């Protein structure tokens, strides 16, 4: 049985979900529900430990060509100890040559073959490497075990499959051949036409420090499914999850009879970055970039003639105008502000509240009280170290701690500190880099303070004139600084309709009046479109047809049909 047939039912399930966008996943949401969960977790932990230097260093072998040295500077946010893993440093010209050489057979394979092999990659990651990758995400990105399993594991795999579904759809829209007959004057011309899908070439896929697999897996799948090769450029702080991924891709490709150099890794160090070299390399046909606004904008400006698909970051906004149950709304907001210490591209930052307060069935609650109750809700979630560990996890980098200090000082001068950040003692990892959130209350005049992404657990309650002013401020943030998600609480249906239209224009995905157990910024593969491409938070959406349709091109040849078949 071919790999395509092996995975056909799962693929068809994903196709139906993409079409109708209902809730679906072939994977269990919780680690405990994985078959043989305890054993699988133990194996994953052991596999993770086998990569570590254990005080010294240990080489991670990728089996890829062009080795010119080794690099590795990862430090666990949980132990603050170096992982001690040394990865191959590659001559990038050699990687490009190897990637280019690998494309031929892969591009010539059928769509079914490529989809089958890539679904096998998904399956091998799921069955054999999920907990190993989860551990590696914990000890590089600093996520909690549950988030590493879900957000960086099965949800990212769902997004990988989703990209395959769209790639498949775009490719199948092209007829492989046609018979074309037309009269030209007295004579009939009968042509047989053949249409070929030709990949662009080599894609460079940048993955980020805090959520490495989330966009990288679907981006890699989009390029590979359409016949291209991929060079992965991980953030030097978060390499291991991508190194394991690259190795799995290579192994599955090779086992299926293809050149493993279709997927390689180009690593750099924070002191000697190679990102610009990769983007400007003459053999770069496409760039997928997830990372900082600053470099993302450089990529967008400089990728030409390569195509580029970016997701950077934004000022995600909340408009809290009125609600039926203020406590429930504040609990949901507090949870979302704490989730992975707001180191998610979907975390809210700027919370706009009318100066006169928030209307509720119990009367209007004054702004200051709303701000205090929100801060109390955050404090309640983070007061107990065990609960804090589950939700806040760790702070990925020292820079974020420094930013917290700086923003606290600015907040003290220019507004009110609603909640001071402080380290909390992680129950399992006493040396973990942690912080509870910083919350500030400011006026609209402090726009330079909140008018950009402040990465990490930093949020602002901002006093506005009224609901329409809050909406105007919020959507201006989105247009000007970017925005992926947005959150609205209102009981006023005309105002909701206005907000839907305004956020649609600004290009942020809006969640309205949601309370309860779901994190507000939860993004469901197959159902939620991630990033719109309409504002500075990124130029692409994962995953829509536009994300895949230009990764291949169509060429054709045509010739007179054989006389015996043409009735000419």
2-41 positions binding a second copy, by CB under 8 A: 19-23, 29
Site for a second copy contains 423 (CB under 8 A): no
Q: Which of 109, 390, 417, 524 binds a second copy (CB under 8 A)?
A: 524
**By CB under 8 A, is residue 392 in contact with a second copy?**
no
Give me the residue label for tokens 């307060």: 357
User: CB of residue 323 vs a second copy: minimum separation in angstroms?
Assistant: 12
Site membership for a second copy, residue 386 (CB under 8 A): no
Q: Is 431 in the site for a second copy (CB under 8 A)?
A: no
Q: Is 270 exposed, middle or buried (0-12, 13-18, 19+ CB in 10 A)?
A: exposed
Q: Is the Cβ of residue 187 or residue 270 nearer to a second copy in the bound state?
A: 187
Q: Report the Cα 122 to chain-centroid distance in Å.
A: 16
Q: Does 467 bind a second copy (CB under 8 A)?
A: no
Residue 286 burial class via C-beta count within 10 angstroms: exposed 0-12, middle 13-18, buried 19 and up: buried
Which is closer to a second copy, CB of 240 or CB of 510? 510
With CA atoms as reference, report the closest residue to 341 among 428, 440, 437, 406. 437
335 binds a second copy (CB under 8 A): no
Pull the structure tokens for residue 252: 């599955």
Please classify residue 84 by burial: count the beta carbons closer than 10 Å to its beta carbon, then call 0-12 exposed, 13-18 middle and 19+ buried: middle
Say how far apart CA 49 and CA 181 lie, in whole Å: 65
Residues 152-171 within binding reach of a second copy (CB under 8 A) = 169-170
Task: Return the residue of 273, 292, 549, 566 that touches a second copy, per CB under 8 A.
Answer: 549
DSSP per position, 443-460: EGGGHHHHSS---SSEEE
Instruction: Single out the segment in contact with a second copy by CB under 8 A; choices: 1-9, 117-125, 333-341, 539-547.
Output: 539-547
Closer CB to a second copy, residue 132 or residue 259? Answer: 259
Among 294, 554, 562, 565, binds a second copy (CB under 8 A): 554
User: Rounded to the nearest whole angstrom, what is the least distance from the CB of residue 184 to a second copy in the complex?
Assistant: 4
By CB under 8 A, the residues from 171 to 210 that bind a second copy are 173-175, 178-187, 189, 191, 193-196, 198, 200
Tell me whether residue 52 or residue 534 sits nearer to a second copy (CB atom).
534
Residue 18, number of CB atoms within 10 A of its CB: 22
Q: Which of 294, 37, 173 is nearest to 552 (CA)?
A: 173
Q: Give me the sign of the Cα torsion angle 364, 370, 376, 380.
A: positive
Candidates 511, 521, 542, 561; binder of a second copy (CB under 8 A) is 511
Residue with smaller CB distance to a second copy, 248 or 488: 488
Nearer to a second copy, 44 or 507 (CB): 507
Residue 512 interacts with a second copy (CB under 8 A): yes or no: yes
List the structure tokens of 296: 């993302």
Q: Are 242 and 133 in contact (CB under 8 A)?
A: no
* Tokens describing residue 474: 């919020």
Chain centroid to CA 11: how far? 21
Exactly one of 94, 123, 544, 566 binds a second copy (CB under 8 A); that residue is 544
Q: Is 375 helix (H, G, I), strand (E, B) or coil?
A: helix
Task: Decide whether 81 or 550 has the Cβ nearer to a second copy.
Answer: 550
Task: Pick the closer one to a second copy by CB: 22 or 59.
Answer: 22
Q: Which is nearer to a second copy, 98 or 548 (CB)?
A: 548
Tell me whether residue 274 or residue 546 sits nearer to a second copy (CB atom). Answer: 546
Please list every residue from 236 through 275 that binds a second copy, using CB under 8 A. Answer: none
Number of residues that bind a second copy (CB under 8 A): 72
What's the rounded Cα separation, in Å, for the pair 127 and 130?
7
Residue 529 Cβ, how far from a second copy at the closest point, in Å? 5
Residue 565 lies near a second copy (rule: CB under 8 A): no
Question: Which CB, 21 or 406, lies closer to a second copy?
Answer: 21
Choose the binding region for a second copy from 70-78, 111-119, 390-398, 529-537 (rule: CB under 8 A). 529-537
| CA neighbor of 119 nearest in space, from 212, 256, 229 | 256
Nearest alpha-carbon partner for 308 in 294, 288, 290: 288
Stretch of 262-270, 329-337, 400-408, 504-512 lying at the interface with a second copy (CB under 8 A): 504-512
Q: What is the 3-state secondary structure (H, E, C) of 143-158?
A: CCHHHHHHHHHHHHHH
Going from the C-alpha of 434 to that of each of 128, 144, 385, the distances in angstroms are 31, 12, 10
Single out the segment in contact with a second copy by CB under 8 A; choices: 205-213, 216-224, 394-402, 507-515.
507-515
Q: How far apart are CA 112 and CA 7, in angstroms?
A: 11
Member of 203, 534, 542, 561 binding a second copy (CB under 8 A): 534
Contact between 466 and a second copy (CB under 8 A)? no
How many residues would you count in the chain? 568
Residues 6+ apart with CB under 8 A from 251: 124, 260
If the CB atoms of residues 75 and 496 are measured against a second copy, the closer one turns out to be 496
β-bridge partners, 308: 287
Choose between 307 and 401: whose C-beta lies nearer to a second copy: 307
CB of 302 to a second copy, least distance (A): 9
Residue with Cβ nearer a second copy (265 or 345): 345
Q: How far is the CB of 441 from a second copy (least distance, A)?
A: 27
SS (H, E, C) 222-258: HHHHCCCEEEEECCCCCCHHHHHHHHHHHHHHHHCCC
Residue 510 binds a second copy, judged by CB under 8 A: yes
| Helix, strand or coil, per DSSP, at residue 421 | coil
Binding-site string for a second copy from residue 293 to residue 312, where x marks contact by CB under 8 A and - marks none: -------xx--xx-------
Phi-psi region of 142 (alpha: psi -120 to 50; beta: other; left: phi over 0): left
């Amino acid at each position: 049985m071919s790999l395509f047939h092996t995975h056909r039912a799962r693929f068809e399930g994903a196709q139906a979900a993409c079409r109708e966008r209902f809730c679906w996943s072939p994977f269990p949401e919780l680690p405990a529900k994985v078959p043989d969960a305890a054993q699988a977790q133990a194996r994953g932990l052991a596999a993770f430990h086998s990569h570590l230097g254990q005080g010294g260093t240990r080489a991670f072998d990728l089996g890829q060509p062009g080795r010119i040295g080794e690099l590795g500077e990862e430090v666990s946010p949980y132990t603050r100890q170096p992982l001690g893993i040394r990865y191959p440093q590659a001559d990038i010209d050699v990687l490009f040559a190897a990637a280019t050489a690998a494309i031929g057979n892969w591009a010539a394979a059928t769509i079914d073959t490529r989809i089958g092999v890539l679904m096998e990659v998904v399956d091998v990651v799921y069955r054999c490497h999920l907990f190993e990758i989860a551990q590696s995400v914990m000890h590089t990105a600093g996520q909690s075990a549950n988030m590493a399993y879900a957000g960086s594991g099965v949800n990212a795999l769902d997004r990988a499959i989703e990209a395959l579904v769209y790639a498949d759809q775009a490719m199948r829209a092209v007829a492989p051949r046609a018979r074309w007959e037309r009269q030209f004057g007295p004579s009939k011309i009968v042509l047989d036409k053949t249409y070929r899908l030709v990949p662009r070439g080599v894609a460079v896929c940048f993955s980020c420090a805090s959520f490495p697999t989330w966009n990288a897996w679907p981006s890699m799948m989009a390029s590979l499914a359409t016949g291209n090769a991929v060079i992965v450029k991980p953030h030097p702080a978060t390499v291991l999850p991508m190194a394991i991924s690259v190795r799995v891709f290579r192994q599955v490709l090779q086992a299926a009879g293809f050149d493993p150099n279709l997927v390689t890794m180009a690593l750099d160090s924070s002191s000697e970055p190679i990102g610009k070299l990769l983007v400007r390399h003459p053999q770069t046909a496409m760039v997928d970039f997830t990372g900082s606004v600053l470099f993302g904008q450089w990529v967008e400006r400089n990728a030409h003639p390569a195509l580029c698909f970016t997701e950077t970051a934004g000022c995600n906004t909340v408009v809290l105008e009125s609600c039926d149950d203020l406590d429930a709304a504040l609990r949901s907001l507090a949870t979302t502000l704490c989730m992975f210490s707001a180191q998610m591209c979907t975390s809210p930052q700027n919370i706009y509240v009318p100066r006169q307060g928030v209307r509720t069935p119990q009367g209007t609650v004054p702004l200051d009280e709303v701000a205090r109750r929100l801060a109390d809700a955050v404090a309640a979630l983070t007061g107990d170290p065990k609960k804090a560990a589950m939700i806040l996890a760790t702070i990925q980098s020292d820079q974020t701690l420094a930013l917290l200090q700086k923003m606290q000082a600015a907040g003290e001068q220019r507004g009110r500190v609603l909640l001071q950040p402080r380290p909390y003692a992680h129950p399992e990892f006493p040396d973990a880099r942690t912080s509870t959130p910083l919350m500030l209350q400011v006026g609209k005049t402090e726009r330079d303070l909140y008018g950009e992404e402040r990465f990490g657990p930093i949020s602002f309650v901002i006093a506005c004139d009224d609901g329409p002013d809050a909406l105007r401020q919020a959507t201006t943030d989105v247009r000007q600084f970017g925005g992926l998600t947005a959150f609205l609480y209102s009981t006023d249906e005309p105002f909701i309709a206005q907000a839907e239209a305004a956020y649609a224009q600004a290009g942020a995905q809006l969640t309205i009046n949601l309370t309860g157990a779901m994190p507000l910024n939860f993004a469901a593969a197959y159902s939620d479109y991630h990033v719109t491409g309409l504002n500075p938070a990124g130029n692409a959406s994962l995953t829509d047809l536009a994300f895949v349709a230009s990764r291949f091109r169509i060429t054709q040849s045509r010739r007179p049909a054989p006389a015996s078949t043409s009735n000419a």
